Amino acid sequence: MASGRVEVERVFVGAGCNRIVNNVSWGPSGLVAFGAQTAVAIFCPKSAQILTTLPGHKAMVNCTYWLPSCKDAFKVEHVESHFLLSGSADGAILLWGLQIRERKWSKAFQVPEVHKKSVTCLTGILISQSVALFASASSDGIVCLWEVIIPSNFDDDCKITLLESLSVGPKPMVALSLAGLPGDLGHVILAMGGLDNKIHIYSGDKMGNLVPACQLRGHTDWIRSLDFSIPIWSDNENNSLFLVSASQDRTIRIWKMALHVSSANAEVSYRKGDAGLTSYIEGPIFQVGPTAYQVSLESLLVGHEDWVYSVQWQPPLPSKNGNIYHQPMSILSASMDKKMMIWRPEKTTGIWINEVTVGELSHSALGFYGGHWALEGDSILAHGYGGSFHLWKNMGIEYENWEPQRVPSGHFAGVSDIAWSRSGEYLLSVSHDQTSRIFAPWRSKTYIGDKITWHEIARPQVHGHDINCVAIIKGKGNHRFVSGADEKVARVFEAPLSFLKTLNHAILEDTSNFGDINEHVQILGANMSALGLSQKPIYVNASNETSRVLHKDEEDSLETIPDAVPVVLTEPPVEEQLGWHTLWPESHKLYGHGNELFALCCDHKGKLLASSCKAQSASVAEIWLWEVGSWKAVGRLQSHSLTVTQLQFSCDDSFLLAVSRDRQFSVFSITKPGDIVNYQLVVKHEAHKRIIWACAWSPFGHEFATGSRDKTVKIWAIQDASSVKQLATLPPFRDSVTALSWTGCDRSKNSGILAIGMDNGLIELWSLSGGRVPDGQTELGPFRAELAVRFDLFVCHVSTVHRLVWRRNPDASDSKAMQLASCGADHCVRVFEVVCDM
């Protein structure tokens, strides 16, 4: 994107996966789609990077599905366009087009609204290169069958027609699978399962006309996943079809549907419909047109120790001559027991056994919501309860050897605050998912060649409360930060030796050079306490014997949890390492506030920290000042009557700006002669008609900006250190202004860029110039503000922008290149490259 003298490029997106069963889909294009709050995110497993997010939904995205799927890809090997379906919690279904070669996305196409409640599952089948069918299930008890006419021109809209709408009663369906019947090109079969513990089989044709065929019983709890194979060939005929089902009863069942030759139509009629488990020895039979099919229970798979949420057949593979595709007898299952298993029939007996087991060993993980095959069948992907992905690739040649691979990661709840490290090496974020995370560009050429890619390299805090705010401690010394959560205590964390060495590996070409690492740091890492609040240090010289004695004493305690094993990472870590072994030790607690912490900031010299909490009275709305190092409270600033929403020190640390829910801003003068901190309220002003959410100081002088729910941004200047003058009011914005950040371009012209984030997720950059030169004497003419660039919807957030932060890009040869980081309620952390020529 470019506008005049400002260019913007997306560098990084970090986001976690919505914690819902059918949320992820791995397409034949090699891309993985998943829901991240109300957006559909797309990531590439090869690069472990999120490529884009697709805006359009207004509610949480529950399910995604590619057309064609990996199962149908062999039918249309050379098509240039693939399509993606997504369903959300408000009943909406959207269809997206992807031009594979250019990776260009079409605008979202709205499927006619039929569902009144949350869409829980999507499935589809490709009939031809231009026609597809898909089915959708909703918690309103409706299952719909749709026809999609795919246009020959990518820019044209698809034509979508509702073929059939089935009401399944008060117990909705949560699992669907659609397939073509073997030996019958004109008919399809739809399997659905849900809360009544039964699998319902419907048969129909390409125009819908679904009729009940039979019900399959055997599971004793909810059906969570269903998947048809492609037709199986026998005696040169595709005369059978397999269906695999998974349930909360911890079992997996494989059902076989074979062509049944019988002239006794009466017998077919008699045995059609319901059948108990004992009947499967002979098998229920259902009729579709002139053809009869017999269902039998092929196998019962027992191995998982918790609910089985997902089962999937391996995608078809080509035969040796490459002309015919066959169905591999291989099933992938994923369970809440933190395991994925690959099941195959034993070669001699034909008995299905578990041949491969992979899983997440971290005690902090709570299991998998789904498992997915890559098109080639050499990689498997799981998504878990913690919003995380887990990828394994078969690296073996003569035997299977499944090794964990890098995947993108991020928060699985709204990201409340972000901060750059003091030198800009990494970005720290905190979230309502109760974690803090560090994202950094991994510059080591031994890992990525010449290209720099971003990854999560540490998870310094895993907490028991939602984290609302964070501040990096600037100045000299070790890396430190302070976080504030839904508790009355602010917590101080200090980087352990393992992180410092990992950071060196990430940012230096010569990883043997640890000159910047403080040798006096004697803490290697941290352990999580039993209640998930404090994080205890692990010392470099700690005795292993002491650790063993401690665990022996606590052997019978319910609070005993395993020790972390801090390690120096030489390449970007996988989820198991992040979730437990990259914690930072907590060094101090700051007590004083009466309610939950809401805002934090540190001055530029690293001497003072300011904090505020949620408040509905003047006494609770005090701003506390803390001395960095001693961590003593050195001031309590009173001005506001409601929550102070943001705090920021001026560029020379002589003023502290506070904005509040009471629609006012306050400016305090701050001086520190010796060890004493003096503060005084300079001005308090009612600046907006609604809540003031954001503020930002000019990087050159004593001008500042305020942004409000009233959709306005106002620019102010401090005059004579005792009064405030309004310089400008920007034109009204489309939505509430929730985030501001101001960076400088040319000090002599007092020019800079103001980044503005809004409640609808949009971001705009405004160029500001004029007024007074920072020396306070020279006038540059009237203050000017003009729109520099409005970010494209495909790179913006899809809901509230919570914070924007600038930094100079250390990797850029051009001194005019900067990076802007943003975070929002859409679970995303984003980094943009901005080049300004002003």
On the CB side of 118, how many CA atoms lie within 13 Å of its CA?
Answer: 15
User: Helix or strand or coil: residue 141?
Assistant: coil
| Range scoring the smallest mean pLDDT among 589-603, 766-780, 814-828 | 766-780
pLDDT at 529: 67
**pLDDT grade, residue 701 (50/70/90)?**
confident
For the chain, state the CA radius of gyration: 30
| Residue 557 pLDDT | 38
For the stretch 780-809, pLDDT in tens is: 667 888 999 999 999 999 999 999 999 976
Please choose, from the candidates 818, 740, 825, the residue with its C-alpha nearest in 3D space to the C-alpha of residue 785. Answer: 740
Query: H/E element holding 820?
Result: strand 817-824
Long-range contacts formed by 276-281: CB under 8 A, 24+ apart: 276/217, 277/217, 277/218, 280/218
* Residue 752 neighbours by CB under 8 Å, 6+ apart: 698, 699, 700, 742, 743, 744, 745, 767, 768, 769
Q: Which residue has the higher pLDDT, 649 or 569?
A: 649
pLDDT value at residue 838 = 59
Average pLDDT (354-366) is 75
Longest dimension (CA), the chain: 103
**Is pLDDT of 304 > 90?**
yes
Dihedral Cα 783, 787, 791, 797, nearest 10 deg: 50
Q: What is the mean pLDDT of residues 724-734?
A: 92
Asked whether the predicted pLDDT for residue 778 surpasses 90, the reply is no
What's the gap between Cα 710 and its chain centre?
Answer: 30
The average pLDDT across 331-350 equals: 93
Lowest mean pLDDT among 106-120, 315-329, 579-593, 683-697: 315-329
pLDDT on residue 262: 56
Q: Look at 95-104, 235-244, 518-527 and tell me which has the smallest mean pLDDT.
A: 518-527
pLDDT at 518: 52
- Where does residue 461 rank: exposed (0-12), middle (13-18), buried (19+ CB within 10 A)? buried
Q: What does the block give as tokens for 813?
A: 């040869």
Sign of CA dihedral 414, 417, 506, 576: negative
Q: What angle do CA 745, 750, 754 make, to 5 degrees?
A: 60
Whether 638 shows a pLDDT value over 60: the answer reads yes
Alpha-carbon gap, residue 804 to 743, rounded angstroms? 11
* pTM score: 0.90
Question: What confidence category does residue 281 fall into, taking pLDDT thresholds of 50, 70 and 90?
Answer: low
Picking from 838, 835, 837, 801, the residue whose alpha carbon sits closest to that of residue 821 is 801
Q: Mapping DSSP to helix (H, G, I), strand (E, B) and coil, where does residue 192 land?
A: strand
Please tell me whether the peptide bond between 460 and the residue prior to it is cis, using omega within 30 degrees of 0.
no
Identify the pLDDT of residue 146: 94
Q: If you average pLDDT over residues 804-822, what whole number do you get? A: 78
Predicted local confidence at residue 829, as pLDDT: 97
Sheet holding 467-472, edge to edge: 467-472, 480-485, 489-494, 586-591
- The pLDDT-based confidence of 675 (bands split at 50, 70, 90) is confident
Digit-coded pLDDT (tens) for 433-467? 999 999 999 876 544 455 788 999 999 998 889 99
Supply the pLDDT for residue 322: 67
DSSP character string of 216-277: E---SS-EEEEEE-PPEEETTEEEEEEEEEEETTSEEEEEEEEEE----HHHHHHH-B---G
Q: For 49-63, 722-736, 737-751, 800-814, which range has the lowest pLDDT when averaged over its residues?
A: 800-814
Confidence of residue 475 (pLDDT cuts 50, 70, 90): confident
Question: What integer pLDDT is reported at residue 278 of this predicted model?
Answer: 38
H/E element, 394:
strand 389-394
DSSP string covering 651-712 = TTSSEEEEEETTSEEEEEEEE-STT--EEEEEEEEE--SS-EEEEEE-SSSSEEEEEETTS-
Secondary structure (3-state) at 317: strand
pLDDT at 792: 92
Any bridge partners for residue 746, and if so which?
Answer: 751
Give the CA distances from residue 718 to residues 697, 715, 724, in Å, rounded to whole numbers and listed in that order: 11, 11, 5
Lowest mean pLDDT among 176-190, 358-372, 614-628, 824-838: 358-372
Helices (H) then strands (E): counts for the chain = 5, 64
Query: Is the per-residue pLDDT at 269 higher than 60?
Result: no
The pLDDT of residue 260 is 77
Residue 396 has pLDDT above 70, yes or no: yes
* DSSP percent split of the chain into helix, strand, coil, nearest 5: 5, 50, 45
Q: 519-528, 702-711, 754-763: which range is least confident on average? A: 519-528
Three-class DSSP labels, 613-652: ECCCCCCCCCEEEEECCCCCEEEEECCCCCCEEEEEECCC
> Mean pLDDT for the chain?
86
Q: Which two tokens stand for residue 567?
A: 């390690």
More confident residue, 1 or 15: 15
Token pair listed for 503: 């950071």
- Higher pLDDT: 401 or 323? It is 401
Please report the pLDDT score of residue 554 as a whole number.
Answer: 42
Cβ-contact 624, 642 below 8 angstroms:
no
Inform me whether the pLDDT recorded for 134 exceeds 60. yes
Which amino acid appears at position 695 of this protein? Answer: C
Three-class SS string for 480-531? EEEEEECCCEEEEEECCHHHHHHHHHHHCCCCCCCCCCCCCCCEEEEEECCC
Q: Side chain identity at 580, as an amino acid letter?
A: W
The Cα–Cα gap between 370 and 375 comes to: 16
pLDDT in tens, 196-206: 999 999 998 88
Structure tokens at 396: 């073996």
Q: State phi, psi for 164 to the nearest 5 degrees.
A: -155, 145
Share of the chain above pLDDT 70, in %: 87
* CA end-to-end span of the chain: 17
